[in-house]
Structure 1
Amino acid sequence: MNENYYWIEEKDGVVTVGLTDEGRNELGNITFVSLPKVGDSLTKTDVLVNVEADKAVSDIPSPVEGTVIAINEDAVDDPSVLNNSDRTSSWVARIEK
């Protein structure tokens, strides 16, 4: 998936990652998501999240190297929250660099 399809916000060495409007439009309605586990170490080549949607199934690589310190538990229970453009509810994971 293209880097334009996810957003990142960094604060104090912690990066929050989510899907942009462009990414969501490319995928379509998200129906399933597989997130990493808290404590997982990621490199830029590792899959951060696997998304199944109306138009595509995609592995989204991690934009940064680091350790997963939080995942969006709401997205695990209800993947449709990732269809929202509100970053406070539609983030995927937080990674400590």
Structure 2
Amino acid sequence: MTSLPPALFRRWVHVREEDAAGVRVYRPADRPLPPARGREGIEFRDDGTFADLRPGPTDAPVASVGHWTAPSRTRLNLAYPPGARSTGAPTGYEIVELTPDLLRLRPV
């Protein structure tokens, strides 16, 4: 497995109003964000797991834990648990940009 930048391993919140050209924008969950109802998120963990965070019935995040692999420093392959995601969900991402305050991912 390829080593990934340490900045990736945290909880990220999808800031959909910043998305552009098929690239999803995420900000750290501990940073102030514009108000929005039911934001999605993702948390990458250095043990090879990730938590896919979706709004639950009360808009609080509900996590599905899966596994990631990294064939390169800019590519993540995702494996979701059975029934955790609907058909057509991304099975991977290209890391377009990663800084301590920004994660830009292109679904692949």
Q: When the two structures are superposed, what TM-score results if normalisation uses the length of structure 1? A: 0.27
Of structures 1 and 2, the one with the larger relative CO (CA 8 A, separation 6+) is 1
Highest CA radius of gyration, 1 or 2? 2
Task: Give the helix-richer structure, 1 or 2.
Answer: 1
TM-score (norm 2): 0.25
